[in-house]
Amino acid sequence: MPREPYSDLLALMAVAEERSFTRAAARLGISQSMLSHTIRELEARLGVRLLTRTTRSVSVTEAGERLLRVVAPRFKDIESELRHVTELSETPAGTLRITATEHAIDTLLWPKLSGILAAYPKIKVELSSDYAFTDIVQGRYDFGVRLGDGLTRDSSAVRIAPDLQFAIVGAPSYFAAHAMPATPQELTNHACINLRFPTRGNLYAWELKQDQSELNVRVDGQLVFNGIYQIVNTALSGYGLAYVPEDLARPHLESGRLLPVMKSWWRTFPGYHLYYSNQRETSRAMQILIEALRYGE
């Protein structure tokens, strides 16, 4: 049997890991139709079905699982060796993929990354903005960024920011027609702007704390977003109350465009952490990024 192109096997691995032709095609940088054609050709040459397709999902057949069980580790070994070879060069190089929220990217990562990229021109960085709590191993990311209380035990983490306080705010125009709430229970009577987490699918419950009392309040309103900046802008327009990072609200609070609400209930969270799989070795490029972002140094 002639040697098969490695790209076919990489395509199969991507679909199996993503469980989606759409996401796999985006990851590989090719069209969905080209990816489907590649998989069909591979199945035709092997004479066996490797994937089971439905209108909603993609799963791996028994034959596909057997093939991937043997092939996938080999490719990971090859990738590891290629990274080691790259490390032998005098200049750190490679592409680092990071998933983080837009708030972390704009206020924390980019201000420091701009200096790293200038100092190490052969290091490339790909930033993916989302609130999806992405599995960095499955998504093939080198790093993720989360608040300290959202980390898992199967990862290594480095603190890269101070504690982060969240604030409840509203515009003067909103309070021209609504009374200022005094208790968490009163929030349910107000128009609140919600944040939806893509992966979990649910709306974020506002996490409040006053002294030793902690509450998760599920609020309601006309608007739901999947990004913090949109929530801030909508609050500025007077469409309801918002629960956002205090540093984003601060300029508007100082200017009077937003007003603080129930400040004694504002909660502080452990700051952003850069995390990565503890099952892989860190490259020189990764080490440079970790040290540059490390908080307090």
Residue 211: the pLDDT is 93
Residue 201: the pLDDT is 64
Spatial contact of 123 and 86, defined as CB atoms under 8 Å apart: no
CA distance 24 to 17: 8
Residue 193: the pLDDT is 98
Residue 3: the pLDDT is 46
Residue 222: the pLDDT is 95
CA distance 272 to 151: 10
Residue 11: the pLDDT is 87
Residue 296: the pLDDT is 75
Q: Which residues pair with 124 in a beta bridge?
A: 95
Query: Domain residue spans in the chain?
Result: 6-86, 89-161+271-293, 164-269
Sole residue written with tokens 């080691």 = 84
Digitized pLDDT (tens) for each residue of the chain, 297 residues in all:
444 567 888 888 888 888 888 888 888 888 989 988 999 998 998 899 999 887 777 888 999 899 888 888 887 777 777 766 665 556 788 899 999 999 999 999 999 998 889 999 999 999 998 887 778 888 889 999 999 887 877 789 999 999 999 999 999 999 999 999 999 999 999 999 999 987 666 899 999 999 999 999 999 999 999 999 999 999 999 999 999 999 999 999 999 999 999 999 999 999 999 999 887 778 889 999 999 999 975
Residue 148: the pLDDT is 86
89-161+271-293 belongs to CATH 3.20.20.140: no
Q: Which CATH class is domain 164-269?
A: alpha beta
Can 89-161+271-293 and 164-269 be said to share one CATH topology? yes
Where would I find the H helices in 222-266?
Answer: 228-236, 246-255
Count other Cβ atoms within 10 Å, centred on residue 229: 14
| CATH assignment, 6-86 | 1.10.10.10
For residue 150, with 0-12 CB atoms within 10 Å meaning exposed, 13-18 middle and 19 or more buried, which class applies?
Answer: middle
